[in-house]
Amino acid sequence: MNSANSTKKIIIFASGQGSNAKKIIEYFQDRNDVKIAHVLSNNIRANVLKMAHDFEISALHFDRTAFYDTHEVLHVLKDAEPDLIVLAGFLWMMPTEIINEFENKIINIHPALLPKYGGKGMYGNHVHQAVLENKETESGITIHYVNEKYDEGEVIAQFETEITPDDSMETLKKKIQQLEHEHFPKVIDQLLSKKA
């Protein structure tokens, strides 16, 4: 088997700043066995597209029509033949055709300990606010496979952080982001090595 075939390919979907996408790209940038094939975003103004360009990674924007009504995005994915599709702060529901085509190859990160605080509308600050309002003593991140329902796919890994009485939205957000940046690239690495 030649080395080109043994290179694992990742495609990243993101909707915003792309801090998780950046950590993943940096984690793998000096590796010959893993390649970020594309970064895709549904937001043409997303910082993540510029950031991908800075790393000389193919960055593609798509709209709702290309994603849901035509097979445009599906064709891009099929052509790339990714080993893993990583949703890093991507807010749209994945179409069934893509989920079926890439079964057990699409993963997402959620800023809470699922099944708590998951589902439609539960993303970013909405999650942290709900966690604080319910006076939880811990929160964390969940990395999970993607299925047809928001945040209901099989859990791959969870990592916790303590919530103290003086935590605010900002401090909790920082704690969660630290967990994401530390663990998400490593879990992706572990999943790819299992697919070897």
Distance between CA atoms of 136 and 163, rounded to whole angstroms? 7
Distance between CA atoms of 141 and 164, rounded to whole angstroms? 17
Distance between CA atoms of 41 and 59, rounded to whole angstroms? 8
| Measured CA distances, 72 to 37, 61, 95, 96, 189 (Å) | 17, 11, 12, 14, 28
Indicate if 183 belongs to the active site.
no
Grouping H, G, I as helix, E, B as strand and the rest as coil, residue 12 is: strand
Set 71, 75, 110, 183: catalytic member = 110
Q: What amino acid positions are annotated as catalytic residues?
A: 110
